[in-house]
Amino acid sequence: HRSAIILFFVYWIINRRSNIIWQTGLIIGAIALSPFFNIFILRLPLPYRYLKYFERVSEFTDFRLMDCVIAVLVWGIAWYFHRYVKTDKLHKYDLFINLQFVAVLIVAVSGRIPMAYRGLQYFVYIPVFEIPEILNASNSINNRKTLKIFFTSVYIIQWAYYVFVIKIV
């Protein structure tokens, strides 16, 4: 499927060490520059079937506060527990943080770029599969329990929100 192109750049973040200052700066920059994204994207040589969404931007943008809160919470908690990760497990933990960072970045611009929100699903659910590895990466049993409770709660709340509030299922 052509939408797999969304994951093409993940190839470059797989081996990249996470950096909270760099990631925070990119998020703030994306939020600050988001009003200009439409102007920039309209100048790109994209297919008309995508550019037509820009004619009625407000109809095709979708910012959901719940997804923003969950993406930022998971990213923030992952950064908090970063210091407790075993050295030999940092590679996988960094991938988890980087994928979560992309989710936060997409949520940050989803209110300005048409259809950007559709890419969020790739970066919210893929990290869920990494949770067992993330729990295994922690030095402390208490940290593992805390993370397990946190991740379970957050993703159940998100699931319930989608099913009962948005009714996308």
String of DSSP letters for 90-123: HHHHHHHHHHHHHHHHHHHHTTTSTTGGGGHHHH
**pLDDT over threshold 70, residue 116:** yes
Least reliable range by pLDDT among 23-27, 49-53, 163-167: 49-53
pLDDT of residue 36: 82
pLDDT of residue 53: 66
pLDDT above 70 as % of the chain: 85
Question: Residue 23's pLDDT band (boundaries 50, 70, 90)?
Answer: very high
- Check residue 6 and report its DSSP letter: G
pLDDT of residue 59: 58
Q: What residues does 85 pair with on adjacent strands?
A: 138
Residue carrying the six token digits 């988001």 = 34
- As a dihedral over the C-alpha atoms of residue 68, residue 61, residue 116, residue 1, rounded to 10 degrees, the angle is 130
**pLDDT over threshold 80, residue 102:** yes
pLDDT mean over 39-66: 69
CA separation for the pair 97, 89 (Å, rounded): 13
pTM: predicted TM-score of the whole model, two decimal places: 0.79
**pLDDT over threshold 60, residue 169:** no
Question: Residue 60's pLDDT band (boundaries 50, 70, 90)?
Answer: low
